[in-house]
Amino acid sequence: MSDYQSLADKLSQRGIDVEAVKAKLKQQRVETPSWGYGNSGTRFKTFAYPGAANSVFEKLADAAMVNRLTGICPSVALHIPWDKVSDWKALKTYAEDLGIQIGAINTNTFQADIYKFGSICHPDPAIRRIAVDHHLECIEIAKQTGSDALSLWYADGTNYAGQDSFRERRARLIDSLGQVYAALPENMRMLIEYKFFEPAFYHTDLSDWGVAYSVALKLGPKAQVLVDTGHHAQGTNIEHIVATLLYEGKLGGFHFNARKYADDDLIVGTSNPFELFLIFNELVDAGDAAKNVAYMIDQSHAIEPKIEAMLQSVVNIQSAYAKALVVDRKALKERQTACDVLGAYRVLADAFETDVRPLVEQVRSELDLATDPIAALHESGYEKKIAQERGTAEGGGGYPT
């Protein structure tokens, strides 16, 4: 008996519809970030990697390779101005020729010198105007590339008590984003990200999910919260945040990564895979309430091979999702209703400890994909080819988000 058949029989005995699980795994979609394919780094140093993408076109080519190997990564997030080109329609066509599409458009108001004291919250209305105009430019880029999501993260905040007025900064934030929201086309969402510290150390204007949620409520239904799994204080219960936002209809999407100490931007699922599983457990449990959640990777592959690191991220996400799909929900509900504390925990633990690799490999096989995408990458010679063609670019700049 094959490993897959043995697992399928075991899951069926739990009352799990294996065919339904496979169907959902085949429908899973994960967006990869353009910046994850280039030379990104930490706050201290960027290490150049042979063959790392030097342009947005090379980033798209690498993303297309990841999609061919996984079958579930058909879109690529762009960061402006990092990925700026003169002809957006041509870039859209180039992506489509590769079998992928442009995903979320990410704004950047944290690197220019004028944003030293903030962007959309800056005391100077002229600087706020520049920041808002950048957002409006990104909306136009989204229209031309076919993107339906504007992704927002800010470094805005203060370093010292008394540096600025909290309430006035809040008013500026609402006013600035209100102007951006008003310019959104009907089909586009605004995903508002938060981060509890860094690079502002006394306070951050969008410091947690509650602040982001309150802003989204003020703006309207097209504004939602984006949860970056690395943007929380130690010990934060992220799955509870996810469940709350799902209940309120305000969970817009994720930036998946892993963190041990701060905003480490490591490969998702590497430091706390149980947490990732519990997040997906809430998403699966929510059913249709989670159908429009965007799953995006946001990682800084500083010392890792770029494409292999992205593949590992996708593999880890697939595994966490598969484990959440094989939770015995009937048994879990019975344990919860009976206040069987440890019994309920064991239901989740049984799913988490299930080796779902044969299941995911079967799904890939049925999609006519290699069962091991990382091995397939190594065997393809693609990494060696691009290293020879592109060489090793100079590393430079930090990766602040």
Which residue in 165, 159, 164 sits closest to 202, CA to CA? Answer: 159
Please state, in angstroms and as integers, the Cα–Cα distance from residue 320 to each residue in 9, 28, 44, 284, 351, following that order: 20, 12, 31, 11, 10
* CA-atom Rg of the chain in angstroms: 21
Residue 394 pLDDT > 70 = no
Cβ within 8 Å of residue 387, ≥6 positions away: 50, 51
Segment 272-298 shows an average pLDDT of: 98
Residue 390 pLDDT > 80 = yes
pLDDT-above-70 percentage for the chain: 97
Q: Please return the burial class of 13, using the count of CB atoms within 10 Å of its CB with bins 0-12, 13-18 and 19+.
A: exposed
Q: Yes or no: say if 28 and 321 are a contact pair by the CB < 8 Å rule.
A: yes
pLDDT at 45: 81
Q: Yes or no: say if 7 and 359 are a contact pair by the CB < 8 Å rule.
A: yes
Residue 266 pLDDT > 90 = yes
How many CB atoms neighbour CB 238 within 10 A? 21
Residue 395 pLDDT > 70 = no
pLDDT at 398: 41
By mean pLDDT, which of 38-52, 64-78, 165-179, 367-381 is the weakest? 38-52
Q: Yes or no: say if 121 and 172 are a contact pair by the CB < 8 Å rule.
A: yes
Q: Please tell me the distance from the alpha carbon of residue 26 to that of residue 368, in angstroms, as a whole number.
A: 11
Residue 43 pLDDT > 90 = no
Q: Please tell me the distance from the alpha carbon of residue 31 to that of residue 313, in angstroms, as a whole number.
A: 11
Question: What is the domain partition of the chain in residue ranges?
Answer: 28-328
Q: Taking the model in full, what pTM does it have?
A: 0.96
Q: Yes or no: say if 102 and 78 are a contact pair by the CB < 8 Å rule.
A: yes
Q: How confident is the model at residue 397 (pLDDT cuts 50, 70, 90)?
A: very low
Fold of 28-328: TIM Barrel (3.20.20)
Kindly give the pairing relationship between strand 101-106 and strand 251-256.
unpaired
Residue 358 pLDDT > 50 = yes
How many CB atoms neighbour CB 94 within 10 A? 18
Q: How confident is the model at residue 392 (pLDDT cuts 50, 70, 90)?
A: confident
Torsion, Cα 106 101 308 312, to 10 degrees, reads 80
pLDDT at 401: 40
Q: Please tell me the distance from the alpha carbon of residue 37 to that of residue 34, in angstroms, as a whole number.
A: 6
Q: Cα 321 to the chain's mean position, in Å?
A: 14
Residue 48 pLDDT > 70 = yes
Q: How confident is the model at residue 42 (pLDDT cuts 50, 70, 90)?
A: low
Q: Yes or no: say if 100 and 63 are a contact pair by the CB < 8 Å rule.
A: yes
Q: Please tell me the distance from the alpha carbon of residue 210 to that of residue 361, in angstroms, as a whole number.
A: 39
Residue bearing tokens 């592109």: 390
72-125 confidence digits (pLDDT tens): 999 999 999 999 999 999 999 999 999 999 999 999 999 999 999 999 999 999
Q: How confident is the model at residue 40 (pLDDT cuts 50, 70, 90)?
A: confident
Q: How confident is the model at residue 1 (pLDDT cuts 50, 70, 90)?
A: confident
Torsion, Cα 69 75 77 83, to 10 degrees, reads 80
